[in-house]
Amino acid sequence: MEGDSIKKYLILIFLFSFLLLLQESFFSKIFIFDYFFNPFLIPIFLLIIFSQKNLAFFSAFFAGFLFDLFSFLPFGIFIFSLCLNVFLTDKLFQIFQKANFLTPIFLFALFLVSDKFLLIFGKFLFGFLFSH
């Protein structure tokens, strides 16, 4: 049982490392409505949908850590925004789980919008806290 969970975490680490290579080499030039394509959000959202909350939080933390390593922003902004986004989306999915088949599509759109909003909020918050 424990070997299977270690395999899941290792697969996620390799997946996000590969997605980081794609992000930095190809997807950094693609902008849709002034928002760059973020391939990290798709597997994180799929983990939320399939009720893998622990793996989703680990993925958000690891992806945020990788983003923070290669970002010019203060360290921790991406970890904060992705982990908070996973928490909020998971709570919304628990509320609307029995609604209908359009719920995951609506939640994915909300997940993308809240990612952008939480990143802006994190920049403001970290800038305010660490500017003095």
Whether 65 has a pLDDT exceeding 70, the answer reads: yes
Q: Which of 61-75, 76-90, 100-114 ranks highest by mean pLDDT? A: 76-90
The residues spanned by each domain of the chain are 2-130
Task: Tell me the C-alpha distance between 65 and 63, whole Å.
Answer: 5
Q: How confident is the model at residue 69, as a pLDDT? A: 85
Q: In this structure, are residues 28 and 36 in contact, taking their beta carbons and an 8 Å threshold?
A: yes
Q: How confident is the model at residue 1, as a pLDDT? A: 47
Query: Each residue of 27-59: pLDDT tens digit?
Result: 666 666 556 667 778 888 888 887 788 888 888
Task: Tell me the C-alpha distance between 65 and 84, whole Å.
Answer: 14
Q: Would the CA dihedral through 34, 40, 44, 46 be positive or negative? A: positive
Q: Give the other-Cβ count within 10 Å of 47's Cβ.
A: 22
Task: Tell me the C-alpha distance between 86 and 115, whole Å.
Answer: 9
